[in-house]
Amino acid sequence: MRMFDTHAHVGLIHDDPIEQLIVVQEARQDNIDGILSICNNLRDFFVVYENLKTAPNVYFAVGVSPSEVTNPGRDWEEQIEQGAAMPRVVAIGETGLDYFRKFGDKNSQIELFIRQLEIADRLRLPVIIHNREAGGDTLEILREKLPSKGGVLHCYSEDWAFAQQALELNLYISFAGNVTYRNARTLHETALNMPLDRMLVESESPFMVPAQHRGKRNKPSYMGETVRFLAELREMPEDEMADILFQNACRLFNIEP
C-alpha cells in the first residue's frame, strides 16, 4: 500500500534538519511514499528544501501564504520563480485567502493570491489553495484565474454544496485529519459524495491530527488513519482507497507513480 501526503509542514514539526529527515524516514516506514513539503514563507522554503533535497520521496511547493501578506519578502515573485525551477518543486503554494485570522487586509490578500495564480499559470504548475472563511471570494477568483494545470483546495473546510461548485473547475479537494472527527458531519457528507478521482489526502502536520492521535503533535506517519477513515466511509478496501489517492496526487503534481 502506498500513500501520498499532499500537504505537510515538515519545517514546523522540527527545526533541526536531522529531525526533519527522521520524520520523512518514519513516514516511509508507514507507507507514506510521497510527501509534499509546504512552507508559508520563502525563507523557510529555501531552508527546508536544502534540508530535504536528498530525500527521494519528498517533493516541494513554493509560495507565500496569506499569513505573510504584510511582508511577503523582498523580490518575492522572483524568488518563487527561482524556487519553482529547482528539482522536485511541483506546485505553487500554499496561497489563498484567510479571513478568519484577518492577516493584513482583504484587498492585499486578494492581490497576493491573484499574482501567485498568474505565476502558476505562467510556469504551468498547479496551485495549492488555502481557504479559511473566504469561500465566496476564493471561488470567484478561481473561476477567473485558476491556472491551466489546476489546483487543490487543501484541508477542505466547506460544505458539499461548495464542493460541487469547486468541482466544476479543474480542482481537487484534499481532506486532512479533521475529517476523522465524529462531529465533522459536513466534511463526512462531502467525502462520501464527491468523485473519487478528484479526492486527495494530507496530514497538514503538525496541525489537524487525526482523532485517534488527538493530543499529540501531528506528523505524516499518522495520515494512514485518515486514509482508513475515508475508506470505511466509502465502504471500500483501504488499500484501494490509498492507491486511488496516490494516483490522484501523482496526476495533479505530474509525478511518475
Which of 140, 89, 99 lies closest to 119 in space, CA to CA?
89
Which segments are annotated as binding site? 7, 9, 94, 130, 154
Binding residues for a divalent metal cation: 7, 9, 94, 130, 154
Residues comprising the chain, all counted:
257
Class of residue 107 by CB neighbours under 10 A (exposed 0-12, middle 13-18, buried 19+):
exposed
- Give yes or no for a cis peptide into 238 (omega within 30° of 0): no
Q: Which of 210, 232, 230 is nearest to 220 (CA)?
A: 210
Q: What is the CA radius of gyration of the chain?
A: 17
C-alpha distances in Å from residue 115, one per residue of 110, 152, 219, 242: 9, 17, 31, 34
Grid cell in block for residue 45: 522554503
